[in-house]
Amino acid sequence: MNPIIDLLNQRSSCRSYDSKPIPDDVMTSLLEATCSSPSGGGFQNLSIIKVTDKEKLVALQKICRNQPFISKAPVSMVFCIDFRRYMKVKEIEPFPFKEHQNFMNFWMAIIDTAIMAHTFCIAAESHDLKTVYIGNIIHEFEQAAKLLELPKFVLPSIMVVAGYPKSPITPKKKYPIDLLVHENTYQDPSPETVYSAYQAHNDSWKMSAKDTFVNKIYETAKSYHGEAYAEKCKTYIEEKGVISPYQYWFGCYYLDAGFMQLDDYIRFMRSQGFDWV
């Protein structure tokens, strides 16, 4: 038995937390491990905003689809892309610099924040804590930046909620290794193979075809792909009598309306000093 492998296999997202605070020594241990995570070039172009203030947690909850567990958990960790430290050094030591004008560096910084965030999650598991990723933080870049007082050259990337679970968490099913791992080159599976794995992956999903959701899926499909495709979606659902995970998530939940759009992201990134856009 390998305790690290066991920890990785047992990690699961948690959306129900006890209000019990995380002890200072435990948080110090988590942060020491998190801040030792690898980064591109070793530059560590990132920062963490550790949010424990109740009012700010409530505000983060409102920004992130109003998910109530965000304000109930003791802490939310907002992992940020941070090129500001470059600028601080540059005020004293001159060096050629245009990293903030290069998309590759921005992309690498996103990867670095994800690595650091997952390091935090695994470290949390080792202390019997649970976590959940909140990607919604980037849907409202500007609101989050204002709330957290992020200066120029700093952007929110991903958020992790952490705390003690109210009850034991059972890991969810994942896709099988042979679907996710390709040997040397991409092995393109057939639609039937993928769909079979998708059904097995979601075998516990049960959602009846209620008119409210069917109509929402119809309207979303119509706005994305036109009326003919919307009719195809509706007919398929009515024949099956159920709504599938993808039909619900992409037709009812993960929608563009109400969130920042491409022009908003471009404007905000430029205002934060990221000129590659």
Could you report the per-residue pLDDT of 134-188, keeping only the tens digit for each? 999 999 999 999 999 999 999 999 999 999 999 999 898 999 999 999 999 999 9
Both ends of the chain: CA-CA distance in Å? 48
Residues 6+ away with beta carbon under 8 Å from 214: 234, 237, 238, 243
pTM for the full predicted model: 0.94
Alpha-carbon distances of 275 from 41, 190, 211, 247, rounded to whole Å? 21, 41, 46, 37
Give residue 1's pLDDT: 81
Give residue 256's pLDDT: 81
Domains of the chain: 3-170 (3.40.109.10), 177-253 (no CATH)
Residue ranges of the chain with pLDDT lower than 70?
Answer: none
Give residue 38's pLDDT: 96
Tens of pLDDT, residue by residue over 11-27, are: 999 999 998 999 999 99
Alpha-carbon distances of 130 from 8, 52, 94, 185, rounded to whole Å? 12, 16, 44, 36
Distance CA 101, CA 103 (A): 7
Give residue 186's pLDDT: 97
Give residue 277's pLDDT: 81
Give residue 257's pLDDT: 76
